[in-house]
Chain A
């Protein structure tokens, strides 16, 4: 069974940093693009970014460029999101997701999400 489990969320002050992790099981992430998507409380979905199978390509939404970094450790079957210079508007549930092999930028399996709250 495919499973994705995020961890690392919590309360952080503006300007602070946080590192999210996503542990995958039931499949090998080295075969898939992986993705982070976020959802502010009571709001819609926002694509954060994604990373190619070997980590050689990464893409980010403009609002996080230069502040967030996606990485992966295929040996540990894990995905990461390093978040720096956090702002109040980064408050959201962060989901990691696996992309399909069939069509680009299409998450087919999602984790349950981890809540990040940026507040003073």
Chain B
């Protein structure tokens, strides 16, 4: 199985901050990498697919980049609804998720 490792596991930030989360795959997954946001008590919500494509209806403050083994999710200006847990997921083979990054209010 392909292992996905996110960093950091948690971070504290303020509204308006620029936030970057990274995800590393244990082997090359080309661009088959997705990002989700999960608010407490809710189902995950697809933000970015295929490493850098913005899902319909998702605000443009979210962006993704990377290919191969190293990927990044950037939130350009953190909003109150963005305090949540973020997961990366590879769709190159049997899908696996990262362990999650919790974004908390500073």
Q: What is A's interface to B at a CB cutoff of 8 Å?
A: 37, 44-47, 59, 61-62, 95, 100, 102-108, 110-113
Contacts and interface: CB of A to CB of B under 8 A. Distances in A.
Interface in B63-106: 87, 89, 91, 94-100
B62 interface: no
Contacts of A61: 94
A103 B92 CA distance: 10
A112 B43 contact: yes
A107 B38 CA distance: 13
B14 interface: no
A107 B36 CA distance: 10
Chain B CB within 10 A, most for which of A37, A103, A104 = A103
A111 B43 contact: yes
Interface of B: 1, 32, 34, 36, 38, 42-46, 49-50, 53, 55, 87, 89, 91, 94-100
B49 A103 contact: yes
Contacts of A46: 97
A44 B100 contact: yes
A44 B34 contact: no
Nearest to A61: B94
A44 B94 contact: no
A103 B50 contact: yes
Contacts of A105: 32, 91, 95
Given A59-B94, A61-B94, A104-B32, A45 B89 contact: yes
B94 A106 contact: no
